[in-house]
Copies of this chain bind each other. A is one copy, B any other.
Amino acid sequence: MATTTISVAERCAAANQASRTLATLPSGIKDAALEAIAAAVQDRADEILEANARDLESAREGDYPPAFLDKLTLDQSRVQAMVAGVHTIRTLPDPVGEVTDGWRLPNGLDVRKVRVPLGVVAVVYEARPNVTIDCTALAVKSGNAIVLRGSSQVAQSNAVLAAIATEAALGAGIPEGAIGLVAGGGREEMAELATQDGVVDLIVPRGGEGLKAALEEVATVPVIYAASGNCHVYVDAGADFDMAHDIVINAKTQRPGVCNSVETLLVHRDAAPAFLPRMLGSLREAGVELRADARAKAAAGALADSLLDAVDEDWDTEFLAMILAVGVVDSVQDAVEHVNRHGSGHSEAIVTSSVASAQAFERGVDAAAVYVNASTRFTDGFEFGMGAEIGNSTQKLHARGPIGMRELCTYKYVVEGSGQVRP
Binding site for B on A (CB under 8 A): 20, 23-24, 100, 103, 105, 109, 111, 116, 118-119, 201-202, 222, 240, 243, 246-247, 249-251, 254, 340, 358, 362-364, 366-375, 377-379, 383-385, 395-398, 400-401, 410-422
Query: Is B366 a contact partner of A421 (Cβ separation < 8 A)?
Result: no
Contact A118 B412 (CB under 8 A): no
Q: Are A419 and B372 in contact (CB under 8 A)?
A: no
Q: How many angstroms from the CA of A105 to the CA of B224 in the assembled complex? A: 26
Given contacts A363-B23, A364-B24, A385-B105, contact A374 B415 (CB under 8 A): yes
Which residues of chain B are within 8 angstroms of A371 by Cβ–Cβ distance?
A: 415-417
B421 touching A247 by the CB < 8 A rule? yes
Complex: chain B residue closest to A374, CB-CB: B417
Known: A105-B383, A371-B417, A374-B420. 4 other contacts (CB 8 A): A111-B385, A116-B366, A251-B421, A378-B415
Q: Which of B370, B383, B410 contacts A397 (CB 8 A)?
A: B410
Our pick among B202, B222, B412 for the contact of A369 (Cβ within 8 Å) is B412
- Hey, which chain B residues are within 8 Å of A401, CB to CB? 412-413
In the assembled complex, how far is the CB of residue A124 from the closest CB belonging to chain B, in whole angstroms? Answer: 17
B246 touches A369 (CB 8 A): no
Chain B minimum-CB-distance residue to A361: B414
Q: Which residues of B contact A418 (CB under 8 A)?
A: 243, 373-374
Given A363-B23, A397-B410, also A415-B370 (CB < 8 A): yes
Smallest Cβ distance from A265 to chain B, in angstroms?
Answer: 15
Contacts of A20 in B (CB 8 A): 340, 364, 366
C-alpha gap A397/B116 in the complex (Å): 12
Question: Which 10 residue pairs spanning A and B have beta carbons closest together?
Answer: A374-B417, A250-B421, A377-B422, A243-B419, A396-B410, A398-B398, A397-B398, A369-B413, A374-B420, A375-B421
Closest to A100 in B: B100
A367, B412: Cβ atoms under 8 Å? yes
CA distance A395 to B198 in the complex (A): 10
CB distance from A139 to the nearest CB of B (A): 15
B422, A375: Cβ atoms closer than 8 Å? yes
**A119 and B417: CB pair below 8 A?**
no
Q: Are B24 and A420 neighbours in the complex by a CB distance under 8 Å?
A: no
Kindly identify which residue among B100, B222, B368, B419 contacts A246, using a CB–CB cutoff of 8 Å.
Answer: B419
Q: How far is the CA of A375 from the CA of B419 in the complex (A)?
A: 8
Residues of B within 8 A of A116 (CB): 366
In the complex, are the beta carbons of B119 and A370 less than 8 A apart?
no
Docked-complex contact A400 and B411, CB < 8 angstroms: yes
> In the bound complex, do residue A412 and residue B400 qualify as a contact, i.e. CB atoms below 8 Å apart?
yes
Nearest CB in chain B: distance from A218 CB, A = 14
Question: What is the CA–CA distance of A324 and B384 in the complex, to the nearest angstrom?
Answer: 50
Contacts of A417 in B (CB 8 A): 371-374
* 8 Å CB contact of A378 from B368, B377, B422: B422
Contact sample, A vs B, 28 pairs, CB 8 Å cutoff: A20-B366, A24-B363, A103-B385, A105-B383, A105-B384, A109-B378, A111-B385, A116-B366, A119-B396, A201-B396, A201-B397, A250-B422, A251-B421, A362-B414, A368-B412, A371-B417, A372-B417, A373-B416, A373-B418, A374-B416, A375-B420, A375-B422, A377-B421, A378-B415, A379-B413, A383-B422, A400-B411, A401-B412
Contacts of A100 in B (CB 8 A): 100
Say which residue of B24, B378, B414, B421 sits within 8 Å of A370 (CB atoms): B414
- The answer to whether A23 touches B377 (Cβ under 8 A) is no
Cα A222 to Cα B397 with chains together (Å): 8
A345 nearest in chain B by CB position = B412
**What are the residues of chain B within 8 A of A247 when measuring CB–CB?**
419, 421
- Residues of B close to A372: CB separation below 8 A: 414-417
Chain B CB count within 10 A is highest, among A254, A367, A385, A414, for A414
Smallest beta-carbon distance A305→chain B, Å: 30
Complex CA gap A201/B369 in Å reads 18
B340 touching A415, Cβ below 8 Å? no
